[in-house]
Homo-oligomer: A and B are copies of this chain.
Amino acid sequence: MSGSLIVVGLGPGTAQWITPAAQAALDAATDIVGYGPYVDRVPERVGLTKHASDNRVEVERAAHALQLAADGRRVVVVSGGDPGVFAMAAAVFEALEAGPREWLNIPITVEPGITAMLAAAARAGAPLGGDFCAISLSDNLKPWEIVTTRLRAVLAADLVICLYNPISKARPWQLGKALELAAEQRSSETPVLFARAVGRPDESLRILTLAEAVTAASTADMATLVMIGASSTRLIAREGRPPYVYTPRSVAKMPCATSQGRT
């Protein structure tokens, strides 16, 4: 029997956002490997072995999955969101690159999923209507100076900015610092989304100004996707309901430094 490995994106939470291709991979698996909360999303069934691991052991987890596949199992590695976006796909290829040559014979497939920024954007309206970027705020895997260098570049380029891994117990101040950097270059009225647990029962969507977001940074958590609008991002007010947030597709010119900025 020849094994295989599929890296599957479960989407942000609800089964309604799991693609049929991802579901088919889950249904055919003999082994599910992943971070505990994602493995928990896959129902138990006869013939399925679940291997849950702690957070922050991604490459060890990936190597374990590759070895199971090399041993002939049909292995699915699960990620939340999309596996290619700050998730398990890169860890699998890191483990593959460092591992025994025979692993190169394992058929490896990546099944895309709905990543958090797409889900958050959909809930808010169309904040990703223009050019945008996705940056992980975690400085576990890169120096903080690289994070700030990148933030300054994309702020100057007026991209909408999606911040993954914005905050954790071990990284309590980075999000506040990132939002302060944004406030140096963008208007204090710029819309900022704190989209938490989108697609799950405890979903919440907060639409703040950049000035409010700086103050509220510590109220975000690891389940929050933070999105900082571009200079053209704006609100459409509605009676009795939160406004829509959207970024027009057209750009007339680059913004000038704001009155808040570069003083």
Contact = CB atoms under 8 A, between A and B. Distances in A.
A104 B15 CA distance: 30
A133 B159 contact: yes
A122 B133 CA distance: 18
Contacts of A143: 251-253
A250 B113 CA distance: 22
A236 B82 CA distance: 21
A249 B17 contact: no
A208 interface: no
A152 B104 CA distance: 36
Interface string A121-137: 11101111111111110
A86 interface: yes
Interface stretch (A30-38, A41-49, A215-223, A239-247): A239-247
Given A143-B252, A153-B156, 16 more contacts: A17-B21, A82-B118, A89-B121, A89-B122, A89-B126, A90-B129, A93-B236, A94-B249, A104-B238, A110-B122, A110-B123, A113-B118, A131-B133, A133-B159, A142-B251, A154-B154
13 contacts: A84-B121, A89-B129, A90-B130, A93-B126, A93-B244, A96-B244, A97-B246, A115-B118, A131-B133, A141-B251, A146-B253, A149-B254, A150-B158
* A-B residue pairs, 9 tightest by C-beta: A90-B129, A153-B157, A133-B133, A89-B126, A142-B251, A93-B246, A110-B122, A16-B21, A90-B126
